[in-house]
Each structure stands twice: as structure tokens, then as C-alpha cells.
Structure 1
Amino acid sequence: MKIFNLLIILIFVSSCASSSKNELSFDAELSQFKYPFPVKTYEFSTQTQKLKMRYMDIGKSKSKVAVLLHGKNFAGFYWERIANDLVKKGYRVIIPDQIGFGKSSKPDNYHYSFPQLAKNTHGLIKSLGVRKYIVVGHSMGGMLAVNMGAMYRDIRKVVLVNPIGLEAYLDYVEYKDPEFFFKSEMNKTVDKARAYQRKNYYDGAWSNSYEALLTPFKGQLNGPDYEVVAWNAALTYGPIFEDNIVVKFPKIKAKTVLILGTRDRTGPGRGWKRKGVKRKLGQYQNLGREIKKENPKLKLIELKGLGHMPQFEDYNRFSKVFFREF
């Protein structure tokens, strides 16, 4: 763990040194931020636009393939350690940045939905000649993975790591226009982002490795394109509230595994619940069991004492259960 933390810190320091006065400045596609593996480009037409999905593709196996889907506040770069360990197990690992995230295109306007992102990702996978694969989704990537599992039959297994969406948010919260989220994104600061993650992801703890994960946000916040970055971030809240993945679990034909840090309290929309709603959102100690009850074939693995980022909080403990699925 110490070696991994050191590597992340070195990447962070290197990025800082590349800009004057130690102030990071990244464009919309993070051109100035180095990813852990070579970045490739999948160009495709969608919604009358030519867009570019960036992705990393490591390992050479044709029969053992894993596709790793990032969460909303991150991009593919944070899968580095898991990807390296999967390659050691003989896997080919594909890590896309979704449209609107990381190094991928940030269109001025795009109708974001999880079926659309699933179609985009499936197109990338097919363009690489992959026939069967395991899909892994963390946080928002878990909602995307559920959609892919429900839509496509070329998936061997769906592995979900603290996905959001285990409760239908619009049953409990008010609907907000994208303008609401855009204003919020434009008012973001590094201190606010850090405070949110410290409280909701790490139970008040903080470390240099957690800080390093904020590097892309810091650079884009200071960069010339933050407004379009913020607008895409605002638009991608829509699917989180509009898509009810709870009803899609039964549609997944592949074996599904749900790995949950039960201390997680991530509950999108808890700040604007409907009048009279008393439900506490983000009670992960209960959510997994509720999903399991409705989907008996689903495999539930609970990690007590860990939160939304179990793969970073305690990699050794997380990896013992995660890699059993490969």
C-alpha cells in the first residue's frame, strides 16, 4: 500500500511541477495530465456529432477481458492498481473515459442517459474485436454497468463496487433542472470537493493518496475550459436521477456480484428531498440486502467499516474479495 501511495503522490507532484507557480491548468480533455497507461481514441458518430472516447487498453488476452467503468467524480485513471493486478492475472483490461469525463469529448450539448453511454461503450468494445468480457462498475459506473448487463448478452459477469442508484432517487427527491447543477458546478472549489469526499467517502479521514485523486479537478478548475467541463458535469446528473436501475437487475442474465462498503452514505438528492419524505438516503448497510432480497441469484459481499471507495480505503481487504470473481 505504501508503494502505491508513493506512486500516486509522485504523479501528483509531477503534474504540479509542470505548471507555473504550482498552479495546475488543464484543458477540457486533460491533455496536460498524464494517465498511467497509453491513451487511445475511439471516434464515433452520436447524436449528429463526431465525438472522441478516450480509453486505455492493456494486456493481450483474447479470452479474458475486463472493462472497468469509472464513477462520476473521477475518470479511468483511478483504476491503475486494479488494472495492473488484473493484467498479472492474465487479463486484458479496457478502461474508457465516458463522453463528458476525463480525456473524452465534452460536447456543448448532449442528451446523457445510461442506455446511450452503454451503447457508446459497447461500440468501443466491439470495435476492439472483444466477444466476451466482465464489466466492472464503481459508483456511477455501477449504474452504467447494470444498464449494459440488461442490454447486452456478451457480458460474462457484472461486478458492482459501491454503485449509486440502489434506490430510485426520484421517488424521494425533487427533480432539478440541469441549470441547478450547473450553478453548483460553477461554484465548486477544491476545498468544497475535498470536504465532500472526506465526509462522504472516507468517514472524515484524509490522505495524500486521496488528495492526488483531486488533481484532474484542480487543473480543470484553473483551466480555460472549466465552463464546458462544468456544463457536462451538470448534464450527467440527469441519468442518475432519471434512471431507476433497481428494476433492471432482474434483466441481467450474467452472474452479478455486488461488493459494498457498508459505511457508505452516498445519497444523491438528500439535500432536496420532497416534502414529507422521511426516508434516509444512502444507507448502504441496508441497500445491498434489499437488492439481494428481490434478486436471490445476486451475490452480495459486504465490507463492514468501509465506505464509498473501498478499493482505496483498504486495498488489501478489498482485493481479497474482488479478485475471487476473476
Structure 2
Amino acid sequence: MYFIQIAPLMFKKLITLSLLILTTTALFAQKDSISIKLENVNYAHPVKFFPISTEGQQLKMAYMDVQPTKNANGRTVVLFHGKNFAGYYWTDVIKTLTTNGYRVVVPDQIGFGKSSKAYIHYSFHQLASWSKALLESLNISKSVILGHSMGGMLATRYALMFPERTEKLLLEDPIGLEDYRTFIPYTNTEKQYQTELKATPESVRKYYQGSYFTKWKPEYDELVRIAGGVSYSKEFPRYAKVAAMTYTMIFEQPVVYEFKNLKVPTVLFIGLEDNTIVGKASLTPEQQAQHGQYKVLGKKAAAEIPGAKLIEFENCGHIPHLEIPKAFAATLLENL
């Protein structure tokens, strides 16, 4: 009789405990869902890896090599991603290009995306050289280079180093249109590392909302899920350290002074509402208003690059290929 009276209470406690365990397990599973190499992030096409040996380390450079789906024209477009992104955000651009006859190669640079997160000296010269080696391994001797954001700095360096391999240079809201060293307080890599360690999905969302888009759309949540989700990984300190290293690369290796030396046809695609500044948080609102004004910087860059063409998008921020995909796709095809 005693057992019959106590059993329901024990059963209730067991159920409550089981639910607590399941909830806690689910919470931690969600937090650990994004690895720093994005192994569990799906890309639109199969990912391969190009081996790289440097500074006593064996590294892997992830890339997609997507063949045209119809009307192959024998031309190749290479997509260079921005600092806070990787191959996953090029899906619509890849589809636009491959359905119009282009082969598309999409590398995740070392330190980004699915590629190795290496403790090495990062430089645009080295990333450009590895990109060239990748393309050589794929028997691609000449290609159109499209670079977005940080990828625009890399694409510029690539075109300066290998003009004979660059059919055309396309720059989509590239950073580095001004020399950040002249107005951003210097932060060494270790101090920047401490800043990167504080990243959370909430801080990523706030930054993306305030810096990248004129109006937030639900589809942008996936960008936050990936970029913010890595902060829950046990390996996040490595990710943060590499992010700090590449911040230093951007800060210390400007390309703006060499625009005049470009010798390839160049097109700039600029969102007029873009106000991106690397190191923006270290400036006062008044200082921020004096820099990162792409409606001014785009025109200035186009004037400095010999023969450059400038295309401006109204009501668009830092990532035209995501914010206005149809307009960007049409304009991109017109300028290939």
C-alpha cells in the first residue's frame, strides 16, 4: 500500500529529471552545432581540399569548383569572400554564373570557412599566391576575379601580382578604400584577440544589422547562425585568434595606394548606403560619420583606378549580392 502511494510521486520526479536532462542536452547540442571549420554547415556544391604546406604546417584550403550547367563559354569566375563569410554566402551568385555558361571556383581562404584555422603570418600576398596555385592545379590560366569586402582587398592584390592571369577585376563593396591606419587607433593582435573572444550570436546580429544591410530580412538569420554559432565551439579560442590575425592583416596591409597600378579592366559595384569601417567600434559617432562613406569612397576609387567603371546601387548596403540579388545578378552578367 505504501509503495502504491509513493510511486506516482517518484514517477513524477523521474519524468521531471528526465525532461531536465533532455533539455540541457539539447541546449548544449545546439550550442556546439557549429564547428570552427564549418564541417556541419552545408555548402551549395561539393567541397574539395587543396593541400598547402607552410611554416612547418600541413594545411587544407577548401574550395568549390562548379561547372556550367548549360551553354559553357570556356570562361571562369573566381569568388573571393569577405572576412566574416565564406563560400556558403555565394550560392545565388554561383547559380547565376553557372546557368549562364561560366565555370565558378569558390575558395575558402586559409583561416576562413572550411579551411584550416592556422597560426601563421597572414598576408594578402600569401593568400593571393595560394589562390593562384589552386587555379593552376585546376588548369585555369586566366579568370575573372570577383572580390567582396575583404575579398576585394585580396582580389586587388591578386590582380596587382598576376595581371596576366586576371581577365577582369570585379570589386563588390571592397573594404580598404581608405587607409584605416590613418584614423583607427592601433590595436595589436593580442588585444584584438581579447575582443574577438567576446563575440556572441547577439553581438554578431547587432553588428550585421548595423553595418551590412539597410533593412533586416529573415533570410539573414542564417548568416548569424553560422558566424555566431562558432562562438559556442570548444575550439572557438583558435577561431578568435585567427580572426585577430586576419584583422591585423587588413589593418597593416592597405592596397588603396596601389589602385593606380592596376592594369586590368576593373568594375566597382557599390552599395550607396554602405558605411563599413574596419575597427569602427573604436571611433566616436562623429568620427564614424567622417569615414566609411562608400557613396564617396566608390567614386574616389574609380577615379584612381585606370579605366575603372563604377556601378552604384541605391538603398543598398555592404552586400549587394544578398540584399538586392536580382539587380546584382543582372548587373554582374552585363559586366562580364
TM-score, normalised via structure 1 length: 0.89
What does residue range 206-221 of structure 1 map to in structure 2 within 5 Å?
206-221=216-231
Q: Unmatched 5+ residue regions in structure 2?
A: 1-24
In the aligned structure 2, how far is the partner of 1:211 from the partner of 1:279? 27
Asked if 1:314 is matched to 2:324, the reply is yes
**Letter in structure 1 aligned against 2:335:** E
Structure 1 residue 215, shift from structure 2 partner: 2.5
Name the SS of the counterpart of 2:291 in structure 1: coil
Residue in 1 that maps onto 2:182 = 171
Residue in 1 that maps onto 2:16 = none
Name the SS of the counterpart of 1:194 in structure 2: helix
| Alpha-carbon displacement from aligned partner over 1:75-108 (angstroms, at most 9, x marks no partner) | 111001100110001111000001111100011x
Name the SS of the counterpart of 1:259 in structure 2: strand
What does residue range 229-268 of structure 1 map to in structure 2 within 5 Å?
229-268=239-278
Asked if 1:92 is matched to 2:103, the reply is yes
In the aligned structure 2, how far is the partner of 1:253 from the partner of 1:49? 35
In the aligned structure 2, how far is the partner of 1:28 from the partner of 1:279? 34
TM-score, normalised via structure 2 length: 0.86
Name the SS of the counterpart of 2:157 in structure 1: helix
Give the fraction of aligned pairs with identical amino acids, expressed as a percent.
38
- Aligned 8 A contact 1:292 1:299 in 2: yes
Kindly indicate whether structure 1 or structure 2 has the higher relative contact order, using CA contacts under 8 Å at least 6 residues apart. Answer: 1
In the aligned structure 2, how far is the partner of 1:235 from the partner of 1:122? 22
What does residue range 152-167 of structure 1 map to in structure 2 within 5 Å?
152=162, 153-167=164-178
Q: CA RMSD in A?
A: 2.0
What does residue range 100-249 of structure 1 map to in structure 2 within 5 Å?
100-107=111-118, 109-152=119-162, 153-203=164-214, 205-249=215-259
- Aligned 8 A contact 1:29 1:106 in 2: yes
CA spacing shift, 1:278–1:221, aligned 2, 3 Å: closer
Asked if 1:23 is matched to 2:21, the reply is no
Residue in 1 that maps onto 2:46 = 38
Structure 1 residue 128, shift from structure 2 partner: 0.8
- Aligned 8 A contact 1:136 1:160 in 2: yes
Structure 1 residue 36, shift from structure 2 partner: 1.2
In the aligned structure 2, how far is the partner of 1:240 from the partner of 1:163? 12
Asked if 1:70 is matched to 2:77, the reply is no
- Aligned 8 A contact 1:51 1:105 in 2: yes
Higher Rg of the two aligned structures: 2
Asked if 1:299 is matched to 2:309, the reply is yes
In the aligned structure 1, how far is the partner of 2:227 from the partner of 2:283? 28
**Letter in structure 2 aligned against 1:97:** D
Q: Unmatched 5+ residue regions in structure 1?
A: 1-18
Name the SS of the counterpart of 1:187 in structure 2: coil
Structure 1 residue 251, shift from structure 2 partner: 2.3
Structure 1 residue 220, shift from structure 2 partner: 1.6
Q: Which moved more, 1:218-227 or 1:68-77?
A: 218-227
In the aligned structure 1, how far is the partner of 2:90 from the partner of 2:35? 22
| Alpha-carbon displacement from aligned partner over 1:5-56 (angstroms, at most 9, x marks no partner) | xxxxxxxxxxxxxx94471523221112221110000001122321100001
**Letter in structure 2 aligned against 1:46:** T
